[in-house]
Structure formats: structure tokens, C-alpha cells
Structure 1
């Protein structure tokens, strides 16, 4: 019998800070749970950190990563005690960095919407600074981008999702903005993250990450730096400046 996929609770509620779960296996390579609110590192978004707590013990988790067969491994801090298989644990997120990643990720989608037609060649989400790389000869100025980003943030656009089939994505290849990373296939459906209304979205593209529910929650942002990373590759950095 194969390993069952981990139930990803953040898919239904990105704001769930903790959840009860059952330990399926535990070792130095990580703790496997049947369900988790932890986001596993992927797509430029860091894996969540936090804690596993059970009757008589607690383990600090440094990062969640993808395991085999669509599972999530919770990596324990060095020397941390491990929960026994079969135990019921409370999986609790270190919420402050996770929420900043959600705000940053949504801000990067807004940034993407301001540079239509340019493929995204790379990106990284951080709690303090994030970036996107564009296949672009000449990007707008950082002042122009900052002004328009904050106008979109202030517009308080709703952030939602819907699912389409892989065949529907094949019929609409322009939905995919990333050139280096393609949406995962094999499950038969693809998750789209939408900012704005369904009939006139600000941004709509495949994404498996976590987001805030409204652009206003991002707070003020600032594009701090533009870099040339090659003949046709421009890197754009942004920070959350409203704190």
C-alpha cells in the first residue's frame, strides 16, 4: 500500500494557524502527518516553520518540504524530540512570517499584472524582500511600479480561486506567466488564483501558494531596486513598507 497524500488544509483556509493531525511516521528526515496547515516549500514560497505539540512533548519545525507521493515532511530542529507514530499532535504555524509570505505573494501577482506579456523567468518570496525576474528588455521605472502597485493595493480587490481542467489550461496557455516553472500536472485539475472580479480580473494565473483574501491586507509596498540579470532578464525587488 502506498503513502497517502497529505491533506493540505491551507488550500481551504490559508488563515488556519493550527490544526489537529495524526502522526503517520517520524524520523530525522521529517515528520509525516495525515493533514497539515503547513505550506511545503515550492514555487519560490518558503516552507512554513512552527511547532508540533502532543501530550508530553513539543518539537520545533524549521521548515515544511515536499515528500514523496504528494506528502509534506515537517523538518524538526536539530535535537528535537519526535512524536510517536499514531500520536495526535497540534500542528501550529509560526504565523508572523507565514502571513508576510501571503502578503508578499499576492503583491508579486499584482506586480506581474503591471508587466503584461513578459514571461516570468524566476522569483523568490521572502518575509523581508521578494523579487520577480522578467523576460523583458526595459522594465518600467521603480517609481512607476511603486505608484501603481499601491493603487492596486488600495483598490481592495478580492483574492479568490477556481479550478480548471488540464485541458482547459492547454486551451489557454497565456494563463501561465512563469517560463521556468510549469503548473503541476497529473491530478487532472489546475488551481487558478484570481485577483479582482471573475469577468474583469486584475490578475489570473495558476498558483499553488497561499494568499491574503484582499489586496488591502498587503499594506503599502515599495519597489526598491531593478537589476539587469542578462540581455533580456530584468529583476524587480519589492518590500512591504507600510510597517
Structure 2
């Protein structure tokens, strides 16, 4: 399996790589991939590539045909590094880190509101989850306080793996109704918040997260929108 730097070392800000191909649309494929490819409600990373004194801005990254590699989308029309070129991949770290903070905060929101998730979106500083929730929470302040209480506990965030067969036997782990865990590799990545008796959440996820919940900082509960008879959209933002 290809080394996925964005998954295995989410705090890495730059890394060497080699161009292994181009796409017909003008994308660049670099191995090993540092840029997180858009998926699961999380935007693709941005940044730039450097080689031979040239700097190519990258607007975003999308998934390759294999579902895990990153296709880097240039922000402007420029000559691309040739196949086989050795490059340095550099992230827009502030944007990536905000995505990490928001993503972990949304996992905590799914703990505070223990209802099926019908959709979600991560931004650089804000995010939202849609819940199968006929009525909005009766006490918004209590939801926000509970969310920040989990943040302030500074719980460790870690990963593990489960086979597809084991996941089939534990359907309660899958909270999202709209996004199914990627299959085909024989195993699925799990993101755990809290260890041992401190564990508060465990669910399949392929995105990037902070190492501890305290790194999220204060979270503000935003608008709770009506998205149909059975759905409510809960927005959050970072301080």
C-alpha cells in the first residue's frame, strides 16, 4: 500500500516527493502524497510544489482513481513538473490545521448530539453536521457547554483499524448515513477520542485530526437550521 503522509503524519508540513504522472485535466500526482484529497466532507489541501527554483501554487487536491492518492490541482496555468521530477510538497499549514481542529470538533458534536448524521461539511474555521433530528435542541447553551467540556478535557485522539467483516458486525460504529467508510482494502481506519475509560468516541474516518481535543480551542455553536421535516443542520465555529 502506498505511504499516505496526510494520514500517517498529519502534522507534517512539507515533504519531498516524486512526480509519478499527470492527469488529462492538468493535475499532478506526487508520491508519497502529503496533500489530503477532498473527501468525507473535508476539503482538499492547498499549498505549493517546488522544484528547480520553480514554485507551483496548488489550489486543492482530489482523489486519484485508486481512491487514496492525491491529484494536485494547480491554482493557475503554469508548466507542470515533468514525470520523474523530484519536488518538495509544501502545505498551507494554517488552513490544514484549521481543518483538523474543525474535523475533531465535529466528531465531538456527534457525541454531544447522539443522533444519526445525515451530512456534514468542514471548513477552515467552521463546519456543520446535519442530524436526523425532528426538533432542535431545547437548550443551545447546554449543547455548547457540553461540547467545550469535551474539548477542555484534552482527550487524546488516536487511530486504529478494523476489518471490513468486523465493521459489518458493529454497525453502531458508523454514525454517518450519507458517507460510507471506504471499502475494498480489507480494513477500515477508526478514529478514537479518549483512551480506555476516557473514550468518548470511536468511528470510521479517513480525515485528518488534531492529536488532543484541547488543541481545538473554544467552539461556538452557530445557527441550527431546519433542513426538512426530519433534519436539523447544526453549525459550529472556532474562536
TM-score after normalising by structure 1: 0.93
Deviations along 1:46-91, one digit per CA (max 9) or x if unpaired, are: 0000000011311000000011123310001222231111110000
Matches within 5 A, 1:1-243: 7-26=3-22, 28-70=25-67, 71-116=69-114, 118-140=115-137, 141-241=139-239
Deviations along 1:156-200, one digit per CA (max 9) or x if unpaired, are: 000001001001101100100000111010000010100001455
Q: What SS is found at the alignment partner of 1:212?
A: coil
**How far apart are the structure 1 equivalents of 2:198 and 2:148?**
19
Gaps of 5+ in 2: none
**How far apart are the structure 2 equivalents of 1:119 and 1:111?**
12
Query: Is this contact kept in 2: 1:60–1:80, CA < 8 A?
Result: no
**How far apart are the structure 2 equivalents of 1:200 and 1:173?**
22
Larger CA deviation: 231-240 vs 6-15: 6-15
Q: What SS is found at the alignment partner of 1:181?
A: coil
Stretches of 4+ moved more than 6 A in 1?
Answer: none
**How far apart are the structure 2 equivalents of 1:46 and 1:89?**
23
**How far apart are the structure 2 equivalents of 1:29 and 1:69?**
18
Larger CA deviation: 7-16 vs 44-53: 7-16
**How far apart are the structure 2 equivalents of 1:135 and 1:114?**
14
Gaps of 5+ in 1: none
Query: Is this contact kept in 1: 2:151–2:213, CA < 8 A?
Result: yes
Q: What SS is found at the alignment partner of 2:166?
A: helix
What is the CA-CA distance between 1:6 and the residue it aligns to?
Answer: 5.1
Query: Is this contact kept in 2: 1:41–1:47, CA < 8 A?
Result: yes
How many residues are paired up? 236
**How far apart are the structure 1 equivalents of 2:89 and 2:131?**
37
**How far apart are the structure 1 equivalents of 2:165 and 2:197?**
21
Query: Is this contact kept in 2: 1:58–1:81, CA < 8 A?
Result: no
Deviations along 1:19-41, one digit per CA (max 9) or x if unpaired, are: 10000123543001121211000
**How far apart are the structure 2 equivalents of 1:143 and 1:172?**
33
Deviations along 1:116-151, one digit per CA (max 9) or x if unpaired, are: 2x1100000001321000001223232111111111
Q: What SS is found at the alignment partner of 2:106?
A: helix
TM-score after normalising by structure 2: 0.95
Query: Is this contact kept in 1: 2:155–2:198, CA < 8 A?
Result: no
**How far apart are the structure 2 equivalents of 1:125 and 1:138?**
23
Q: What SS is found at the alignment partner of 2:200?
A: strand
